[in-house]
Structure 1
């Protein structure tokens, strides 16, 4: 049977207040394609938003912009 593991017991910690965005492409139709991550910049989801919605998203999420 597996033993319960407390958060951070494996040496990995995740600060869920840290939010990351990496812009991958701005399409001709105005959509911004970007990666969004919480805690770890290596673990992300791909998203697309219109530019104005992307700008609002970044402000609301208080993201840290990452470079390629």
Structure 2
């Protein structure tokens, strides 16, 4: 018995998402960043000014919890 092939879900790599996880007292922002699928992400940590620049450069969509 063979399992029928299914198409993978569509992924639009032009869509970029950020979910802020925490803002630390030392000025760093911990956030989840994802491409295409908001549920698949990597956690990153940047100083606030670099985080703001990162968001502008990548034209991210901010996700709420």
TM-score (ref. length: structure 2): 0.89
Gaps of 5+ in 2: none
Aligned pair partner of 1:27 in 10, 24, 29:
24
Gaps of 5+ in 1: none
What SS does the corresponding residue of 1:67 show, helix, strand or coil?
coil
Aligned pair partner of 1:59 in 52, 56, 60:
56
The answer for the alignment partner of 2:9 in structure 1 is 12
| 1:39-50 map, 5 Å | 39-50=36-47
